[in-house]
């Protein structure tokens, strides 16, 4: 199996996902619902790995129109059901990286729909999990609430 290849985030000066949405770059389209579309990832971690993107450019979640976010997740939910039947997987991961620090490689919001099988072991989040005290969790919740 070939290793992962770093692909350019821009093609001919344009965001690659915007170019796909405009039809100027090839893609294996699964669904086009006007403001959002889904297509096969060209470097899938499993057969049936899809990307759901808004047609309008939004680099990160903070830039994403609320309606596009809702439409992306609604489409991803329908795709997850379809992928389970089409590729006969046991489960599906939805994964969205917001920003380079989170692992986002193409600066256009995109939601991965990744088919999974019980034994695949192909997609894991590695972390230093912690178990903070309730008071620390409450303080964090209060800080986030204060800026909502």
Reply yes or no on whether 110 is catalytic: yes
Domain covering 10-146: architecture: 2-Layer Sandwich (3.30)
Q: CA quadruple 60, 48, 78, 19: dihedral positive or negative?
A: positive
pLDDT surpasses 70 at 44: yes
Q: Report the pLDDT averaged over residues 36-40.
A: 98
Q: How high is the pLDDT of residue 1? A: 47
* Per-residue exposure over 14-48, b if at least 16 CB sit within 10 Å of its own CB, e if not: ebbbbbbbeeeeebeebeeeebbbbbebeeebbeb
pLDDT at residue 11 tops 80: no
Pick the catalytic residue from 49, 108, 110, 112: 110
Is pLDDT at 72 greater than 90 in this prediction? yes
In the structure, what pLDDT confidence band is assigned to residue 138 with cuts at 50, 70 and 90?
very high
């Amino acid at each position: 199996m070939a290793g992962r290849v770093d692909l350019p985030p821009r093609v001919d000066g344009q965001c690659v996902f915007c170019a796909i949405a405009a039809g100027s770059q090839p893609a294996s389209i699964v669904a086009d619902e006007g403001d959002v579309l889904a297509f096969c990832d060209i470097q899938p971690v499993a057969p049936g790995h899809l990307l759901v993107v808004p047609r309008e450019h939004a680099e990160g979640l903070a830039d994403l129109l609320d309606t596009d976010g809702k439409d992306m997740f609604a489409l991803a939910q329908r795709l997850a059901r379809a992928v389970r039947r089409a590729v006969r997987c046991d489960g599906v991961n939805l994964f969205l990286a917001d920003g380079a620090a989170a692992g986002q490689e193409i600066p256009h919001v995109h939601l991965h729909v990744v088919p999974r099988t019980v034994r695949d072991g192909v997609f894991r989040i590695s972390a230093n999990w912690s178990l903070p005290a309730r008071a620390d969790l409450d303080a964090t919740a209060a800080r986030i609430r204060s800026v909502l």
